[in-house]
Amino acid sequence: MAYSDIRDTDFDNLFEQAAHRLLPIYHAQAIGRDLTDADQRELEIAAVLNPLDQLGSRQGYGLSAPARAAVERRSMEVAAQFLRSIGYAVRDTSASNSFDFEAELGGTRIKVEVKGTTSDRADGILMTANEVELHRNERGKTALIIVSSVRLCEQRGAYSGSGGNVEWLLGWDVDEWLQEPTAFRVTRPRVQ
């Protein structure tokens, strides 16, 4: 936009549009929700299509580390309760393996990955390279549990989670989902 065009710009209209875009974000944050990956991608696409509109390029709409930890704890609790309710014996392996639970029913063991979110629906999840490799190598002997709609409560800087809806994908095939790299490890070559 040229400097001479500024007088013709309807700033009231632009501010109103900005307020309409921010309202769902503020509302979601007020009830302890984060934006889904799809929401974040939509904001990033909007920033590319409208480079002068800085609303879409803002980062940091996600949860803090303590809030994410509370979502993870609650998701693990909900997933374990769910597995036990359908008859599985459950062992937490999250501290020592690239999967969260080993679950056994009728002599059959499966490795279960748990992903949690405060969003009402998880269209995309983040997985480590080790998690993806496990689901590929053990295809048919793994499961994915997505716990959505986890609600957060904060008291004096400490977070706790409640609620949560389970989506159970037994025999999950990771290669049926679209995969896109989100980070790379870049290593300097060794000088000899």
Q: pLDDT tens digits for 8-40?
A: 666 677 777 777 677 666 656 555 555 555 555
65-176 has which CATH code? 3.40.1350
Asked which of 77-91, 116-130, 153-167 is least confident by mean pLDDT, the reply is 116-130
* pLDDT at 93 (0 to 100): 96
**pLDDT, position 53:** 44
* Residue where the block lists tokens 């696409």: 45
171-181 average pLDDT score: 84
Backbone angles phi, psi at 11, to 5 degrees: -65, -35
Q: pTM of the prediction?
A: 0.66
Residue with the bigger pLDDT between 19 and 116: it is 116
Q: What's at 30, amino acid-wise?
A: A
pLDDT in tens, 133-150: 999 999 999 999 999 999
- Rounded CA separation 161/85 (Å): 20
Please give the pLDDT value at position 125: 83
Residue ranges, CATH 3.40.1350, the chain: 65-176
Radius of gyration of the chain (CA): 21
Q: Collapse the DSSP code of 126 into the 3-class scheme (helix H, G, I; strand E, B; otherwise coil) and give the result.
A: coil
Rounded to an integer, what distance in angstroms lies between the CA atom of residue 117 and that of residue 148? Answer: 5
pLDDT of 38-65, one tens digit each? 555 555 555 555 544 443 322 224 677 8
Res. 181 pLDDT band, cuts 50 70 90: confident
In this structure, what token pair is assigned to residue 102? Answer: 């080993």
| pLDDT tens track for 92-115 | 999 999 899 999 999 999 999 999
Average pLDDT, the chain: 80
The token pair at 122 is 């998880």
pLDDT at residue 1 tops 60: no
Q: Is the distance from CB of 123 to CB of 35 less than 8 angstroms?
A: no
Residue 94 has which token pair?
Answer: 């999250």
